[in-house]
Amino acid sequence: MNVLVAGAGVALFFLVNFVRSFFVQESDLETEQDIDQLHRRFNSKMEELKREKRYKEIGPQTDDFNEQIFKIVNKGKGLDEIDLHGLFKKYAVQYCEARIKKITEMIRNSQPNAPRQLIVITGIGNGSGEGGPKIKPAIKDYLTDNNINHTEISNRGAFLVLFSS
């Protein structure tokens, strides 16, 4: 897979996000609250399933939970941006891998609307608890292990991947 390291695109990304960082939108706060609420409900459901020894339901419940989170944090985003906030590490990597494969396939098929870059938002891991960040290092490992050239965006919890033709 041919992926280029960002140049001028990185500078533009920095500028846009520097400006964005000064403004917390109400919709962002609602999204955080939705995610927190889903996490609380999920944890409660997991306790219930374990208490009742309904272990076979844990996997499907976990899949559904991560799908809901993914839809919430990516609502309104295009193919050129993926937000992995709130997901479990395994699912974050799966969603990232699927998006990169989709874009690569679009480029391979010469689709004119294929994005030429992907912003992968991982967050910096503030909500990860005592174990520290989980998603960011997992995504970095995925990108590195698969020889996908990437640029970490100013240590702010995002990576920029540029695709070549």
Can you give the pLDDT of all 165 residues of the chain as single tens digits? 444 444 444 444 554 444 334 333 434 546 777 788 888 999 999 999 999 999 999 999 999 999 999 999 999 999 999 999 999 999 999 999 999 999 999 999 999 999 999 999 998 766 666 777 889 999 999 999 999 989 998 767 899 998 986
Beta strands in the chain (DSSP E): 3-4, 81-83, 117-121, 151-152, 158-163
Contacts 24+ apart (CB under 8 A), 4-8: 4/149, 4/162, 4/163, 4/164, 5/149, 5/150, 5/151, 5/162, 6/117, 6/151, 6/160, 6/161, 6/162
What was the pLDDT predicted at 28? 52
Domain ranges for the chain, please list them.
3-163
User: What CATH topology corresponds to 3-163?
Assistant: Ribosomal Protein S8; Chain: A, domain 1 (3.30.1370)
What was the pLDDT predicted at 33? 79
